[in-house]
Chains A and B, each alone.
Chain A
Amino acid sequence: MDSLEKLKILTDAAKYDVACTSSGVDRKGTRAGLGSASACGICHTFSADGRCVSLLKILMTNVCVFDCQYCANRRSNDVPRAAFTPREIAELTIRFYKRNYIEGLFLSSAVIKSPDYTMEMLLATLRLVRGEYRFNGYIHVKAIPGADPALVQAAGAEADRMSVNIELPSEESLGTFAPEKTKSSILTPMKLIKNRIIQTKDEITRFRSAPKFVPAGQSTQMIVGATPESDSRIVRLAEGLYSQYKLKRVFYSAFIPVAGANPLLPAVSPPLLREHRLYQADWLLRFYGFTSNELFNRENENLNLNMDPKCHWALNHIERFPVEINRADYLLLLRVPGIGQRSAMKILSARRVGKLDFAHLKKMGVVLKRAKYFITCGGKMMERTPMIPEILEARLSENKIDERYAQIGLFDGENAALAAPDDRRKDAPLLGGLT
């Protein structure tokens, strides 16, 4: 088969993997090798779906012995199959890297013959790329569930990041849709990688030349919307992975219906907004000091699709607002909807030398669209919106206009026109007598 044809098949098969980040490790170039790595990560282009393309993301092969129902490469699916040799991958990587098309390689694979055999192939490729081709750029490699720990460990010594995909967020779902995978076959390599990372970090503090192991950490991916798990379950699982397995990232991937799939899987378009909300919640866990218990309660098993999770939390904890910009500490500032780490840091440093008012915030680039309802500057609010959750909710909803204030249709009938409120000006109080 022509290698161009192969590239198409194996890229197509790899595209559903979300992770394409190249961040987390800073490595200088060397005289002996080709390439370097940059901790902030570099995007090399953006594909038509708006995702960053940073790495050459391909499968070693899409020939698979597994039959996971959600996956396009399952053995029962009728798709063209192909396989790369390690040398083909190495040459392609170098060719692309020298032209600055990519930041490195993201190598994954379907399970060919057995997990051990697949992992050996991945390892052989990494050794060729790092060894003979002296490639010093970024490498992300998949650990194949069920592969021998020694192979996983050896691959980790060559890679910058490793990942094992959880795919479905509960054991029952895995049992139904991925019969060959079990919870333990996924968690075992994850634990192995975690322990080895911790061990290496310890060694490096003692011996400067100790070999590195997966310096950019490990990540995983979950498919959202294929199975009935609630957001709360997914976020709690992610929280556990961050704290117990020390993961760098958990990726969420909205399920995309695959042709001829198991009828138990949904056939609707991908739940993109839900995926977006999960990422927002994920950020709150990692950077904003939130815990999953704060985001969910008995009534709310799922995230609110109308507003971001921080807004939702703020409306449910209205007693903690407004926050005084000139006095609140960093963690409290981070709790204000619309204020992120960058804005919070700017506020901290600017107020060290003088008082801040709303005009200053605006000039500094702090986005006030949502924040203005929750903050005071020198004791004053920006607008006189009453601090009542129902009113704020109407102002902050993104996707749905509260039906009480819906656009009047020409033929809605006289009653509808009479019932519609006449004043929708921005600053007018929505409910009389409450201001």
Chain B
Amino acid sequence: MSGYVVLFDGSLDGLLCAVYAYYYDKILPLSIQTEDEYQPMLGAENYFVASDPEKAKRVWEGIRKKISPGAAYNVYTAFLSGEVEKHMAIFKYIVLGFKRGASVDNRLQEDCVLRVHKLARMTGYEAHMLSGFCRFAETKQGAYYCAISPKHRVLQLLAEHFRDRFMNHAWVIHDKKRGEAAVYDGNDYVIVDAPKDAAVEYSDDETRARDMWAAFFSTIAIKERVNKNAQRRHAALYFRANMLEFL
């Protein structure tokens, strides 16, 4: 089996279809790339994998049953990572998983396992931090609007968190970096494409709430123990662009 540069459309389904192609069409990838990021490789043929929901579902169910639900979650969150060069590691992780079963997550000696764990951890960490750091603002229409610009594609993870927390009122989480938004209407959320910039009109109470928050934030710090390094270690600067108290 000679190797190919495997190209896919950039969706999770596409990546899972590359796994399908490896087993059923004997397509051994030397590198897995999305169409947009394609970089030719010397001496290797290209192979385009078309996304097929049926095939992807088979692979996904296989991961859940033959490896473990935890491994499926790792694959999903690692895939959401904004890091480049993640696809090959995820592919290798899945293939190793089909060979070894649930114990794949114990194999920390393997680079691909470490890499997938790291990608998943980074994405999960950012989603966790944002679940605290993201700030909603009350709009004129009464819904709550929140803008984020995360490194990883955490919109859906965040939406799951807030669907449970703010069950009774409408809200929007807007990923300005990727131009998509999670819109919740009081029942369920959908993820839609959105422009990268949005003009939002705030309610009358909004300024008041912000002033109160700013006052609380600056007063709660103990002056005798100021430690800006610790503050920066926990609340990284790149989060602060969307956090009111740091503007």
| Residues in A lying within 8 Å of B, measured CB to CB | 3-4, 7-8, 11-12, 14-16, 28-31, 33-36, 38, 40, 42-54, 56-57, 92, 95-96, 98-101, 103, 254, 256, 269-270, 272, 346, 349-350, 352-354, 356, 360, 363-364
Contact = CB atoms under 8 A, between A and B. Distances in A.
A99 B135 contact: yes
A45 B132 contact: yes
B97 to A, nearest CB: 13
B131 A47 contact: no
A49 B232 CA distance: 10
Interface stretch (B24-32, B51-59, B190-198, B206-214): B206-214
B134 interface: yes
B215 A7 contact: yes
B141 interface: no
B167 A31 contact: yes
B247 interface: no
Contacts of A103: 132
Most buried by B among A12, A16, A98: A98
B182 to A, nearest CB: 14
Nearest to B224: A256
A-B interface, 5 closest residue pairs, ranked by CB to CB distance from nearest: A50-B230, A350-B108, A47-B221, A50-B227, A48-B221
Contacts of B229: 50
A12 B222 CA distance: 9
A4 B212 contact: yes
Contact of A353 (B107, B146, B218): B107
Given A50-B230, A256-B222, A7 B169 contact: no
Interface in B220-234: 220-231, 233-234
Contact of B165 (A35, A48, A56): A35
Contacts of B111: 363
Interface string B149-187: 000000000000011111111000000000000000000
Contacts of A50: 225, 227-231, 233-234
A100 B108 contact: no
B109 A98 contact: no
A42 B161 CA distance: 12
B211 to A, nearest CB: 6
B109 A360 contact: yes
B234 A99 contact: no
A270 B227 contact: no
Nearest to A40: B128
B164 to A, nearest CB: 4
B109 to A, nearest CB: 5
A99 B144 contact: yes
Contacts of A49: 221-223, 225-227, 230-231
Given A50-B234, A100-B135, A350-B109, 13 more contacts: A3-B212, A11-B220, A15-B222, A29-B167, A36-B164, A45-B245, A49-B223, A50-B230, A51-B222, A101-B213, A103-B132, A254-B225, A346-B108
A367 to B, nearest CB: 15
Contact of B166 (A34, A270, A354): A34
Contacts of B105: 349
B217 interface: yes
Contacts of A42: 128, 131-132
A98 B128 contact: no
Given A11-B216, A256-B224, A48 B231 contact: yes
A98 B212 contact: no
A341 to B, nearest CB: 16
A42 B176 CA distance: 23
A50 B164 CA distance: 29
B136 interface: yes
6 contacts: A15-B222, A35-B166, A42-B128, A45-B132, A47-B231, A98-B169
Given A28-B164, A30-B167, A98-B136, A47 B217 contact: yes
